[in-house]
A and B are shown apart, each in its own frame.
Chain A
Amino acid sequence: MTSAHEDLKAHAGAYVLGSLDAEERTAFEAHLAGCEECAAEVRSLGGVVEALARAVPQRTPRPELRERVLAGFDAQGRARPAGRAGSASQWLPLAALVVLTVGIGVYAAWLQVRVAVLEDRLERALLQAAAAETAVADARRVNTELQSAMGVLAAPDLVRIDLAGQTPAPQATARALWSRARGMVFTATNLPPLPAGQVYQVWVVPAAQPPISAGLLAPDPAGAGQTYFSTAPDIPPPAAVAVSIEPAGGVPAPTGAIYLVGKPGASS
Chain B
Amino acid sequence: MGLLAVVAAFRRDAGDPQAEDVECLRRLAAGDGDAAARLYDRHARPVYCLILRIVNDEGDAEDVMQEVFAQAWRQASRYDPSRGAVAAWLLMMARTRAIDRLRARQARPVADALGDEHLDALPAATRDAAADMIDAEQAHRVRRALEELPLLQRLAIELAYYEGLTQREIAERLEEPIGTVKTRVRSGLLKLREALAEGQS
Task: Name A residues whose Cβ lies closer than 8 Å to a Cβ of B.
Answer: 10, 13-14, 16-22, 25, 29, 32-33, 39, 42-62, 65-66, 68-70, 72-74, 76, 78-81, 84-85, 90, 94, 98, 101-102, 106, 109-110, 113-114, 116-118, 120-121, 124, 127-129, 131-132, 134-135, 138-139, 142, 146, 149-150, 153-154, 158, 160, 177, 185, 187, 224, 226, 228
Task: Name B residues whose Cβ lies closer than 8 Å to a Cβ of A.
Answer: 1, 3, 6-7, 10-11, 13-15, 23, 27, 30-37, 40-41, 44-46, 48-50, 52-53, 62, 65-66, 69-70, 73-74, 84, 87-88, 91-92, 94-96, 99, 111-114, 118, 121, 123-129, 131, 133-144, 146-147, 150-152, 154-155, 157-168, 170, 173-175, 182, 185-186, 189-190, 192-193, 196
Q: Which of B146, B151, B175 has the most C-beta atoms of chain A within 10 angstroms of its own C-beta?
A: B151
How far apart are the CA atoms of A146 and B7 in the complex, in Å?
48
User: Is A150 touching B158 in the complex (CB atoms < 8 A)?
Assistant: yes
Query: How far does the Cβ of A215 sit from chain B's closest Cβ, in whole Å?
Result: 13
User: Is A45 touching B143 in the complex (CB atoms < 8 A)?
Assistant: no
* Inter-chain contacts of B95 with A (CB < 8 A): 18, 53
User: Is B143 touching A138 in the complex (CB atoms < 8 A)?
Assistant: yes
- In the complex, what residue of chain A is closest to B2 when comparing beta carbons? A102
* Inter-chain contacts of B141 with A (CB < 8 A): 51
12 contacts between A and B (CB under 8 A): A17-B189, A19-B113, A51-B196, A52-B161, A56-B49, A61-B44, A78-B73, A81-B34, A131-B137, A132-B136, A187-B152, A228-B151
User: Is A48 touching B40 in the complex (CB atoms < 8 A)?
Assistant: no
User: Is A135 touching B10 in the complex (CB atoms < 8 A)?
Assistant: no
Query: How far does the Cβ of A21 sit from chain B's closest Cβ, in whole Å?
Result: 6
* Inter-chain contacts of B7 with A (CB < 8 A): 106, 109-110, 113
Query: How far does the Cβ of A162 sit from chain B's closest Cβ, in whole Å?
Result: 10
Query: How far does the Cβ of B3 sit from chain A's closest Cβ, in whole Å?
Result: 6
* Inter-chain contacts of B111 with A (CB < 8 A): 18, 22
Q: SS class of chain A's interface: helix, strand, loop or mixed?
A: helix
How far apart are the CA atoms of A116 and B108 in the complex, in Å?
52
User: Is A94 touching B123 in the complex (CB atoms < 8 A)?
Assistant: no
How far apart are the CA atoms of A56 and B53 in the complex, in Å?
7
* Inter-chain contacts of A72 with B (CB < 8 A): 66, 69-70, 73
* Inter-chain contacts of A76 with B (CB < 8 A): 70, 73-74
* Inter-chain contacts of B193 with A (CB < 8 A): 44-45, 47-48
User: Is A57 touching B70 in the complex (CB atoms < 8 A)?
Assistant: no
- In the complex, what residue of chain A is closest to B124 when comparing beta carbons? A39
* Inter-chain contacts of B48 with A (CB < 8 A): 59, 61, 65
- In the complex, what residue of chain A is closest to B151 when comparing beta carbons? A226
User: Is B14 touching A48 in the complex (CB atoms < 8 A)?
Assistant: no
- In the complex, what residue of chain B is closest to A40 when comparing beta carbons? B128
User: Is A53 touching B46 in the complex (CB atoms < 8 A)?
Assistant: yes
Query: How far does the Cβ of B31 sit from chain A's closest Cβ, in whole Å?
Result: 4
User: Is B137 touching A127 in the complex (CB atoms < 8 A)?
Assistant: yes
* Inter-chain contacts of A53 with B (CB < 8 A): 46, 50, 88, 91-92, 94-95
Contact of B163 among A61, A62, A150 (CB under 8 A): A150
* Inter-chain contacts of B127 with A (CB < 8 A): 43, 46-47, 50
- In the complex, what residue of chain B is closest to A120 when comparing beta carbons? B15
User: Is B175 touching A160 in the complex (CB atoms < 8 A)?
Assistant: yes
How far apart are the CA atoms of A111 and B40 in the complex, in Å?
28
Given contacts A14-B182, A72-B66, contact A32 B123 (CB under 8 A): yes
User: Is B166 touching A19 in the complex (CB atoms < 8 A)?
Assistant: yes
* Inter-chain contacts of A80 with B (CB < 8 A): 31-34
User: Is A117 touching B143 in the complex (CB atoms < 8 A)?
Assistant: no
User: Is B96 touching A18 in the complex (CB atoms < 8 A)?
Assistant: yes
Query: How far does the Cβ of B22 sit from chain A's closest Cβ, in whole Å?
Result: 13
- In the complex, what residue of chain A is closest to B10 when comparing beta carbons? A110
User: Is B166 touching A43 in the complex (CB atoms < 8 A)?
Assistant: no
User: Is B53 touching A57 in the complex (CB atoms < 8 A)?
Assistant: yes
Given contacts A73-B73, A149-B155, contact A55 B45 (CB under 8 A): no
Q: Which of A19, A79, A121, A158 has the most C-beta atoms of chain B within 10 angstroms of its own C-beta?
A: A19
